[in-house]
A and B are shown apart, each in its own frame.
Chain A
Amino acid sequence: MKYLKRYKWVILILLLDIIISIFSPSDGGLVFKNTVLNFRTMLAVIPPIFILLGLMDIWVPRETIVKYMGDKSGLLGILLGIFLGAAAAGPLYAAFPVAVMMIKKGAKYSNVITFLGAWSTLKVPMFLFEMSALGLDFAITRWLINIPGIILMGFLVDWMMSHGEKKVVLEAVQKNF
């Protein structure tokens, strides 16, 4: 029963997929192919990230993260947020658990949001691909305009979240990792 409730939506969409396959086998085949592709991407990207996060949780002391990305980390914290996000690989959902670990270990809120922003839009592998498809001007202009934006967004989200709301996030974070 517990599983049924937890996977309620998953089961509903699987049912929908099956219904589609009955009425239109060709559409159903495509849905199946795309879904398998998505799961394969996830299973390729996610395991090493979770292993690294588990190791980080055990071995990296809170003080280290506080020092480099915490409230008093200043410019270094911002730059680290951008660098770690831009050096990443994988879809944005893979960044969420990393951000969770940063929050848990005492990183400043704005730096974590900046990290998420960098992961979403500054990733270097993506940049290389964008450059080859859309040209250097397009890719580099977009990349550069995004930097002030994600820093600003970090501060804005930090500023718009109240202490209570941040505490709720922190509690959820501790439950999830």
Chain B
Amino acid sequence: MSFTIITYILAVVGLAASFAKDRKKTKMALKKSYKAFVNIFGDLALVLLLVGLLMTYISPDFIGRFIGEESGVWGIGLASIVGSITLIPGFVAFPLAASLLKQGAGLVPIATFVSTLMMVGVVTLPVEIKYFGRKQTFLRNGLSFIYAIIVALTMGVLLS
């Protein structure tokens, strides 16, 4: 949260400096900010509503049951799919991953889950596509998916 506060401080200081220098330009800047926000709001709202639904039916418990038990290729596959689709904040995901490891889940599936969760965003696709188009969005997410699994496998070799 403290990092968010830094962005607020930067925004306020920036606004004040800009306002002192040129009122008209500052007004223009704020108009642009507002317009850019309104432009994306519909797609963003859609994503947030979808995540609200997903969080209810794909709870941490549910995720735990899915990726804790299976190991091997199946475990990695499941973990990568669950990690890609869900969008849960770090403060929920990391303790969940830690408790699953304690309960005996394999390191590689858990690392796969954490990596795909952070890098691949299936539910945020509508927003990403709106900004960057389909090609770039699918390339970024596809390559991230592959790399997330490479990361997890490498971690399995290095850490166990």
Contacts and interface: CB of A to CB of B under 8 A. Distances in A.
A22 interface: no
B7 A142 contact: no
Range of interface residues on B (Cβ < 8 Å): 35 or more
A134 B101 contact: yes
Interface in A94-114: 96-97, 99-100, 113
A88 B53 CA distance: 27
A41 B25 CA distance: 29
B42 A34 contact: no
A58 B25 contact: yes
Given A34-B55, A52-B10, 19 more contacts: A36-B52, A50-B33, A51-B11, A51-B29, A53-B32, A55-B14, A58-B26, A89-B7, A90-B4, A93-B121, A124-B3, A126-B118, A129-B90, A133-B95, A138-B155, A145-B150, A146-B151, A168-B133, A176-B131
Interface of A: 6-7, 9-10, 13-14, 16-17, 27, 30-32, 34-39, 41-42, 44-55, 57-59, 87-93, 96-97, 99-100, 113, 116-117, 120-121, 124-126, 129-130, 132-134, 137-138, 141-142, 145-146, 149, 152-153, 156-157, 160-161, 165, 168-169, 172-173, 176-177
